[in-house]
Chains A and B, each alone.
Chain A
Amino acid sequence: MPIVDLNTPTQILLEWGWLLITRANGVVYALIVVVFLLGALVTLPGGKAQVPVQAVEAGAADAREGGERA
């Protein structure tokens, strides 16, 4: 079934003293850092739009009323 067969001898990315990181785990760690940075840089769609002020005031009044519109 798989397109890539990962059932091959484990590759080591880094081995230094007692520190040992397999290639697969190392890729995941690197991806976490990369994706975190991307998450900080990439803007969500609609992120630059603005809600009209009337909607904001209505929302705040709504909340004061405890969720019940007058």
Chain B
Amino acid sequence: MSTDATSRSDPAPEEHGNWTSDIRRGAQRDWPYDRMMPSDEPAYVAKAFYMFGSLAMMSFVTLIATGCVLVFKGPYWWHTSTAGLFWNSLHFWAVQLFFFCIFVHFGSSFFTAAWRDGRGLTWVMGTMTFFAAIMTGLTGYELQSNYDAQWIAQQGKDAFNSFGLGWLLNLMNLDNVTGWHVVLLPLAVAGALALHLLWVRRHGVVPPFPQHGYTLMGERVEGRPTKREASSSPRGLSPEDGSAP
């Protein structure tokens, strides 16, 4: 049995050293359509906690959509318009729901040790998404253009200045903050999230810690799982580790 899903044939002689064909071959190997858009999953993907990643993502989509409406009408619209208050509130609660789902998602990823078997980068990409999201939220609070915004700006400036970065992001300057919140930071969140999702699809959903009589991949064997299979290390397993991919 082949050890991995390689491209369907070796490169043709004229393709040797061709970057495009190498990239394409790599992409076909790691992200074939049936793994990007699976119609079945291992049976252990059965509990509700598995949904919180996509719930967080849908909250992000809601934030983009409601954010666009707020961009159309400008940051002060919601102070004087009931429709504005409505769309601003949707945006506000989508933020709360986003971070709520992320925390539940973090809890389940942590307690299932979801970084095992080569998934270390998936974890790191998740943390990067989280940090980008925090900064997006901070700049967003200022765009509320009310007393909260004034207070957060005036207080928060000290943290940035203490690290000498007040010139890069002046919290008290809405010209500055708007660009960060509407363009730079959502792009950072989307970019980190895209990488995170690609990595989830690349490695699949982490299997449960193996129990007696089974390998990590759920195959019946005699005796206990190997130490490597049962470990919490992020290193990917291979046939030599006793795992039969």
Contacts and interface: CB of A to CB of B under 8 A. Distances in A.
B48 A43 contact: yes
Nearest to A35: B104
A15 B6 CA distance: 59
B214 interface: no
B176 interface: no
A66 B1 CA distance: 14
Interface residues of B, number: 31
A30 to B, nearest CB: 12
A50 B42 CA distance: 9
B2 interface: yes
B29 interface: yes
Given A36-B104, A47-B46, A59 B8 contact: no
Contacts of B6: 66
Contacts of B96: 28
B100 A28 contact: yes
Contacts of A62: 32, 34
Contacts of A4: none
A66 B29 contact: yes
25 contacts: A1-B82, A1-B85, A28-B96, A31-B100, A32-B100, A32-B104, A32-B107, A36-B49, A36-B108, A39-B48, A39-B49, A39-B52, A40-B47, A40-B48, A42-B48, A47-B45, A55-B40, A59-B34, A62-B32, A63-B35, A65-B5, A66-B28, A66-B29, A66-B32, A67-B32
